[in-house]
Amino acid sequence: MIYTASYFNRQGHHGRSYCISRTQPEGFRLPVLGFFLPPGWLLDKYRDEDVTLCCWERGATYCHRSLVASFLRQLGYEVLVA
């Protein structure tokens, strides 16, 4: 399963977490995905383990992670937005 969450919503983090924002809050050192969309290897990886795509926005309503989730769902991936 692929999850999306704010950096600040720790209970929304599952498995490995990855940064999908240009910067990270102080104290975070997540691997950075260098562009808006997660690469194919990450999408394949979620089949073996849960991953969380993190960004700054606390609420998902006006956050680009909702767009990422929508796009991934259209491709047939299971995504939960937190």
Q: What is the DSSP letter of 38?
A: P
Which is more confidently placed, 37 or 12? Answer: 12
Residue 38, Cβ density class (10 Å: 0-12 exposed, 13-18 middle, ≥19 buried): buried
Give tens-digit pLDDT for 22-75. 678 999 898 877 765 566 777 777 777 888 888 888 888 878 888 888 888 888
Give the residue among 23, 36, 45 at the shortest CA–CA distance from 67.
36
Domain ranges of the chain: 2-81
* Per-residue model confidence (pLDDT) at position 27: 92
* Per-residue model confidence (pLDDT) at position 60: 80
Question: Across the strands, what pairs with 16?
Answer: 51
Q: CB within 8 A of 13, min separation 6: which ones?
A: 3, 5, 52, 54
Q: From the CB of residue 44, how many other CB atoms can be counted at a distance below 10 Å?
A: 9
* Per-residue model confidence (pLDDT) at position 64: 80
